[in-house]
């Protein structure tokens, strides 16, 4: 590809992305919001992988050791991160308050956990967390200690999970991500099936 053609391609990609992001970040209502996400762009789907975070408690703080900012935050609070295909490390934390019905003010938060993963072009991944009882296993990757401000808390650790929405099943976050993808661009056909 000539230098002039590559500049034109990059310029076109930037212009298309800016139009899509303007629509993505508007505070619009329901199905009238078009585009709903920059991920609707075939150009972006053909050149990037998408990492979704659909839980308010979970925060991606670093990608490949650099501060992470979502590429797009939708009206429903779903955060989208567009990644160049390849191996990436994702570092996240989570924090939530205990439900009021438990009768005390308490909060839980997980220390930084990092997970490495191969991201493929056009694939959609969803990040989520799981709490586990017991001490932090030393030989398991992607786990970290959980802290709380209650007296005599149970010993807990948490794991950072990232699943490809094309192959994962049964996890609520994955099912919500699949429903989100239908909302973004209509009937969803997984790439791998």
Q: What is the pLDDT of residues 123-135, one digit of tens each?
A: 999 999 998 998 8
Task: Give residue limits of the domains in the chain.
Answer: 48-185
pTM: 0.74
Q: What is the pLDDT of residues 149-192, one digit of tens each?
A: 766 677 888 999 999 998 888 899 999 998 888 887 665 455 54
Nearest to 51 by CA among 138, 3, 115: 115
Q: What is the 3-state secondary structure (H, E, C) of 55-111?
A: CCCEEEEEECCEECCCCEECCCCCEEEEECCEEEEEEEEEEEECCHHHCCCCEEEEE
Higher pLDDT, 93 or 16: 93
Is pLDDT above 80 for 118? yes
């Amino acid at each position: 590809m000539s230098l002039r053609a590559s500049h034109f391609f990059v310029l076109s990609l930037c212009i298309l992305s800016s139009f899509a992001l303007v629509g993505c970040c508007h505070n619009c209502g329901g199905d009238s919001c078009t585009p709903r996400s920059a991920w609707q762009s075939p150009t972006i789907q053909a050149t990037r992988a998408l990492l979704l975070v659909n839980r308010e408690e979970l925060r991606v703080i670093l990608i490949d050791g650099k501060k992470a900012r979502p590429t797009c935050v939708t009206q429903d609070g779903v955060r989208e991160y567009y990644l160049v295909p390849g191996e990436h490390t994702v570092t996240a934390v989570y924090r939530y308050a205990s439900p009021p019905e438990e009768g005390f003010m308490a909060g839980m938060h997980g220390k930084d956990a990092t997970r490495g993963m191969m991201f493929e072009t056009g694939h959609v991944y969803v990040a989520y967390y799981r709490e586990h009882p017991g001490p932090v296993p030393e030989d398991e990757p992607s786990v970290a200690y959980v802290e709380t401000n209650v007296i005599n808390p149970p010993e807990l650790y948490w794991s950072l999970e990232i699943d490809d929405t094309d192959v994962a099943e049964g996890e609520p976050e994955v099912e919500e991500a699949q429903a989100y993808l239908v909302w973004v661009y209509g009937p969803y056909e997984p790439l791998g099936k």
